[in-house]
Amino acid sequence: MNLSELIINDIRLVDVSQKVRLIQQMFNNLTYSHIPVCEKDVFLGCISENDVHCFESEITIKECQYAVEFFSVNWDTNWLDVLEAFAQNSTNVMPVLRNGAYIGYYELKDILSLFDQTPFFFEPGAILIVRKETKDYSFSEISQIIESNNSKVLGAFLSNFENDLTEITIKVNNKNLSDIIQTFIRYGYEVISGHEGESYVQDLKERSEYLKKYLNI
């Protein structure tokens, strides 16, 4: 996936010498949670809409620079790490740097749309949710179990941690899960559910579409 095609550069960096009023006006016209700021073209970080409306409009950004949060990704950061950065910083806009210089930003909705392009969503198959003690599970073992039943893993992710147990959601290319389920049980996994069809994936797609529509409000 070429993330560089998703970089947007229509928001210029706002210099900290500017009045807070400028950023307040920008937020009034945007749906972004943060706006990137700089000092003499050097990227400093982002200031949030929640914070900026707490300040007097006639002071400079420099005077409230302590509210600036530093977060960004590099131009070559992979999309899953980019998504993690969005989540860790509770933002819907992520500055992109190259050699330390600001070159634009990603929108959260664009990164989320990449999920729709993965085999987890568009390849036919079935969904299986299993659970095992965190110290005992391994993805190599999970792949071995599935492949020993003449199936392939189309995608997998850790969907929950609870009381030293890890829950793993897996998509396989074989809709007949009965043999796979029995093998997981023999290996000590608790099988939470198996969806022999596309309803679970369709539900994930619908939730993803709802989130993207929400972000556009």
The residue ranges of every structural domain in the chain are 3-113, 118-206
User: CA 65, CA 187: separation in Å to the nearest integer?
Assistant: 55
pLDDT number for residue 197: 47
Give the contacts of 124 (CB within 8 A, at least 6 positions apart): 173, 175, 198
pLDDT level of residue 125 (50, 70, 90 thresholds): confident
Q: What is the mean pLDDT of residues 186-199?
A: 76
pLDDT number for residue 210: 53
User: CA 116, CA 172: separation in Å to the nearest integer?
Assistant: 17
User: CA 170, CA 211: separation in Å to the nearest integer?
Assistant: 22
pLDDT number for residue 112: 82
Q: What is the mean pLDDT of residues 157-169?
A: 89
> Is it the case that residue 205 has pLDDT exceeding 60?
no
**Residue bearing the bigger pLDDT, 157 or 102:** 102
pLDDT number for residue 203: 55
pLDDT level of residue 120 (50, 70, 90 thresholds): confident
pLDDT number for residue 184: 95
pLDDT number for residue 195: 58
**3-113 with 118-206: one CATH topology?**
no
> Is it the case that residue 198 has pLDDT exceeding 60?
no
Indicate the average pLDDT of the chain. Answer: 87
User: CA 146, CA 174: separation in Å to the nearest integer?
Assistant: 9
pLDDT number for residue 100: 93
Domain at 118-206, CATH homologous superfamily: ACT domain (3.30.70.260)
Q: Say which range, 79-88, 104-113, 196-205, has the weakest mean pLDDT.
A: 196-205
- Percentage of the chain modeled with pLDDT above 70: 88
- Encode pLDDT of 20-53 as tens digits: 999 999 999 989 999 999 999 999 999 999 999 9
Domain at 3-113, CATH homologous superfamily: CBS-domain (3.10.580.10)
